Chain A
């Protein structure tokens, strides 16, 4: 067991809709990162949250947003879904910014 749980495991949405993906980190993990992994690609960094504040962002548009909560859970929200948003979304958490990160199994999002 990785200790990082993501839900749902699979999701199908229609173009233009909005989606919320959830991640439950291990207790005490105050840092969480989100990645997008398109088919045939490596994971691409979306953003990182540290103690409920955004602490770094990759090359993703503002319609990708996030939240981190005091109970070590977090959310990734994507508005105005596009077909190219279809991917595996991974979250990874750590005890602190510079420690090792544990990945969840991901949410497979399909936009039709």
Chain B
């Protein structure tokens, strides 16, 4: 029923180590995936995205990996910093659709401890 799943509600990581956030999806018609970060009392902010024709996209400390056969993507943050502590949402777009019409997962709360 849930097309985008983030099965880990929370993750705790030590500062400087790698954070890996996972996301699974069920709809093979998704063609674009995005990660958003959300701090309390703020709206989600775009972090990084990946097209379904790629398997990796990198932006500074953030890398997203896509495994289409497994319908799985992951966000790697290296090195993790205390300011990365937030809720991270995985989102997907239907083929040819708008980035304004996204299907979100429930989010994973990341805590990076100093």
Contact = CB atoms under 8 A, between A and B. Distances in A.
Chain B facing A: main interface SS: loop
Nearest to A93: B100
A92 B44 CA distance: 9
Interface of A: 2, 4, 31-33, 35, 40-45, 48, 55-56, 58, 90, 92, 94, 97-106
Interface string B74-95: 0000000000000001010000
A90 B102 CA distance: 13
A101 B103 CA distance: 14
A106 B107 CA distance: 17
Interface string B35-50: 0100001111110000
Interface residues of B, number: 22
Cβ-closest 4 pairs across A and B: A42-B104, A103-B43, A33-B100, A97-B98
Contacts of B91: 42
Given A43-B89, A90-B43, A103-B44, A48 B100 contact: yes
B101 interface: yes
A5 to B, nearest CB: 10
Given A2-B43, A103-B43, A105-B41, A31 B89 contact: no
Given A42-B4, A98-B98, A98-B99, A103 B104 contact: no
A102 B44 CA distance: 8
